[in-house]
Amino acid sequence: MTSSPPAPNAQYSYVGQELDLFARAANWKAYFRSVLAPFIRGDVLEVGAGIGQTTRHLCDGRQRSWMCLEPDPALAERLAADADVRALEPGPVVQVGTTESLGAGFRFDAILYIDVLEHIEHDGEELERASTLLAPGGALIVLSPAFAFLYSDFDRSVGHFRRYTAQTLAAVMPEGLRRRRLHYLDSIGFLASLANRVLLRQAMPSARQIGFWDGRIVPVSRVTDPLVAHRFGRSVVGVYERS
């Protein structure tokens, strides 16, 4: 694994403090991995890779290459030094920057925005730029927090510009891509998020709360989500492919 020199936006510093907390959410990551894995193939670009907590769960040796793109140099340095991530196959390459700093010659079979797109102010422009980096048959994959009415002090504290519905996520997807998946995940987590929004009003969950959600709520959601036909959930997932 290597790390590139800082890109022109090297002064960017991520405001959130939740990455280490959510790194422990193994059940949740296994759940969305089961949904997204068929589309994560070939040459992969993971946008906003952070400290690599998602990389560890999705990079599984079935891909040809894996690039971790992270705009915060401190997080990128930490990611590049992580022994567990360095041991993954294919060996991830850490690049400091954004899709704007990638050369026109790059082409990827999968581009991932896992809990990232909501942090990007001009999301439509971002996805349009990402679509130009897709190889034929490549997939643009987004997982984001769902429903604007659930926007909370936590969203604000970690720099979220918005939460999505299936409709608003579809609206910012570039034209010319074919929809493969567009639905919600974590129906019981939706109810917990609603309780936090209305009752608790916490800016940051505790490690105990994350453990309860991941250990107790997520396994139940894996059962209930198909029963409610994925019509609502704490997160929304969209997968769109280039023809």
For 2-19, what is each residue's pLDDT tens digit?
A: 444 334 444 788 876 788
Task: Return the closest-CA partner of residue 53 out of 33, 39, 73, 71.
Answer: 33
Is the pLDDT at 147 greater than 90? The verdict is: yes
The pLDDT mean for the chain works out to: 91
pLDDT score, position 103: 79
Residue 12 in domain: no
What is the distance between the alpha carbons of residues 36 and 143, in angstroms, rounded to a whole number? Answer: 9
pLDDT score, position 200: 52
**pLDDT category, 117, cuts 50, 70, 90?**
very high
What is the distance between the alpha carbons of residues 90 and 70, in angstroms, rounded to a whole number? Answer: 18
Residue 5 in domain: no
Is the pLDDT at 96 greater than 90? The verdict is: yes
Structural domain count, the chain: 1
Residue 9 in domain: no
Which residues form the domain of 227?
19-242
For range 129-137, the mean pLDDT:
97
Is the pLDDT at 174 greater than 80? The verdict is: yes
Structure confidence by residue, pLDDT tens digits, 49-73:
999 999 999 999 999 999 999 999 9
For range 136-159, the mean pLDDT:
94
Residue 102 in domain: yes
pLDDT score, position 234: 96
pLDDT score, position 2: 44
Q: Which residues contact 20 (CB under 8 A, 6 or more apart)?
A: 51
Q: Report yes or no on whether pTM surpasses 0.75.
A: yes
Is the pLDDT at 243 greater than 90? The verdict is: no
Cis peptide before 90 (omega within 30 of 0): yes
Residue 1 in domain: no
What is the distance between the alpha carbons of residues 190 and 146, in angstroms, rounded to a whole number? Answer: 8
For range 104-113, the mean pLDDT:
94
pLDDT score, position 204: 77
- Which residue would you say has higher pLDDT here, 95 or 13? 95
Is the pLDDT at 201 greater than 70? The verdict is: no
Please report, for the domain that includes residue 218, its CATH number.
Answer: 3.40.50.150
For range 100-116, the mean pLDDT:
94
